[in-house]
Amino acid sequence: MARNRPSTQVIFVHCAATKRHQDVGITTIDGWHRDRGIFSPRGPSGYHLVIRRSGVVELGRDLPSLGAHVLGYNDESIGICLVGGINRDMEPEDNFEPAQKVSLEAWLRALLLVYPDALIAPHYAVSTKACPSFDVWAWQRETFGHDDELRFLKWNAERER
Structure confidence at residue 37 (pLDDT): 79
47 is catalytic: yes
**105-to-5, 39, 82, 123, 127 alpha-carbon distances in Å:** 23, 27, 12, 17, 23
What pLDDT score was predicted for residue 33? 77
Query: In which band, very low, low, confident or very high, does the pLDDT at 2 lie, cut at 50, 70 and 90?
Result: low
Q: Where exactly are the structural domains of the chain?
A: 10-159
Respond yes or no: is residue 73 known to be catalytic: no
Active-site residue identified among 33, 48, 123, 124: 123
Instruction: Please provide the average confidence, as pLDDT, over all residues in the chain.
Output: 93
Question: What's the pLDDT tens digit per position in 34-62?
Answer: 888 777 777 778 899 999 999 999 999 88
Give yes or no: 69 in active site.
no
- In this prediction, residues 16-38 reach a mean pLDDT of 88
In contact, 33 and 48? CB cutoff 8 Å: no
Among the options 15, 69, 115, 131, which is catalytic? 131
Tell me what pLDDT residue 44 has.
Answer: 79
Catalytically annotated residue among 15, 33, 47, 124: 47
The dihedrals phi and psi of 49, each to the nearest 5 degrees, come to -140, 145
Q: 61-79 pLDDT, tens per residue?
A: 889 999 889 999 999 999 9
The architecture (CATH level 2) of 10-159 comes to 3-Layer(aba) Sandwich (3.40)
The model carries a pTM of 0.94
* Cα gap 151→92, rounded to integer Å: 26
